[in-house]
């Protein structure tokens, strides 16, 4: 089976998993997930599983990328912050749906590899930097949307503070890897509203010594 038909197969699986947003589906269908993986793992690129990318980190399961992207509820005018660039796959999905993506990664090597992929795909609306994403990106706040792709114990307060009014943050919250939920946090005029999207398992968000 060639990559294109595998990709179509993956999208059908995502649809079954409950992803209904046609823009999210179309974008995921158009992105070659294989280029985000080491050669030895490429054969698994279109399976609905999380895959290792080094440093004990993983490229998120496509079903989870789809659900989180759908929950973020973006438009093409938005400025989005992503915490945890990892392979860059989720970053690229977002870059095709919004105006600009700012992304932060705490492993230099992962960041460099991801940036090479952005160039290879000729994407010009991603700004990436090395650092501890729990501090957000002060110079660029407020953000219309914030996506966190590593699990946090609580809603990261500095990130919540960098959301615009009406802004949404999607973040996996939980104590241990088997007790996490994806939360959708909406900033209102006088506080925050939260909604649980689904249970999930993510690698932890780790404060970096940078
Ligand atoms: N969206 C990525 C998921 C990567 S896993 C993908 O699809 O490939 C989570 C990533 O978050 C890892 O790369 C990890 O290094 C990064 N991370 C963890 N804690 C972080 C922090 N405090 N600041 C920035 N990145 C962090």
Provide the CATH number for the domain around residue 106. 3.40.50.150
Of 50, 148, 131, give the one whose Cα is nearest residue 91: 148
pLDDT tens digits for 54-96? 998 899 888 889 999 999 999 999 999 999 999 999 999 999 9
| Model pLDDT for residues 11-57, shown as the tens digit of each residue | 777 887 788 999 999 999 889 899 999 999 998 888 888 899 999 88
Distance CA 174, CA 190 (A): 25
Task: Pick the residue whose CA is nearest to atom 17 on ligand 1.
Answer: 84
What sign results for the dihedral spanned by CA atoms 184, 156, 176, 114? positive
Q: Is ligand 1 within 6 A of the CB of residue 205?
A: yes
pTM (2 d.p.): 0.93
Averaged pLDDT of the chain: 91
Asked whether 73 and 7 are in contact (CB, 8 A), the reply is no
Residue 113: domain span: 62-200
Is residue 60 annotated as part of the catalytic site, yes or no?
A: yes
Domain count of the chain? Answer: 1
Tens of pLDDT, residue by residue over 173-183, are 987 766 789 99
Q: Catalytic: which of 5, 30, 60, 152?
A: 60
CA 156 vs CA 30, 35, 161, 204, 209: distances in Å: 32, 31, 9, 13, 17
Question: How far, in Å, is the centroid of ligand 1 from the Cα of 84?
Answer: 3
Residue 22 lies in a domain: no
């Amino acid at each position: 089976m060639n990559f294109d038909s595998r990709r179509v197969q993956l999208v059908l699986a995502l649809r079954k998993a409950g992803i209904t947003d046609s823009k999210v589906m179309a974008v995921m269908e158009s992105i070659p997930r294989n280029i985000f993986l080491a050669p030895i793992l490429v054969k698994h690129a279109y399976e609905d599983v999380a895959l290792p990318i080094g440093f004990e980190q993983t490229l998120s399961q496509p079903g989870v990328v789809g659900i989180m992207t759908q929950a973020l509820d973006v438009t093409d005018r938005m400025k989005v912050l992503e915490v945890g660039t990892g392979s860059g796959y989720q970053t690229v999905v977002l870059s095709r749906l919004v105006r600009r993506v700012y992304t932060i990664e705490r492993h230099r090597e992962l960041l460099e590899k991801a940036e090479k992929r952005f160039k290879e795909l000729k994407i010009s609306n991603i700004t990436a930097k090395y650092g501890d994403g729990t501090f957000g990106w002060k110079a660029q706040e407020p953000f219309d949307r914030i996506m966190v792709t590593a699990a946090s114990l609580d809603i990261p307060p500095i990130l919540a503070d960098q959301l615009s009014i009406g802004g949404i943050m999607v973040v996996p919250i939980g104590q241990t890897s088997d007790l996490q939920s994806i939360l959708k946090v909406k900033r209102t005029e006088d506080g925050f509203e939260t909604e649980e999207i689904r249970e999930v398992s993510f690698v932890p968000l780790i404060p970096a010594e940078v």
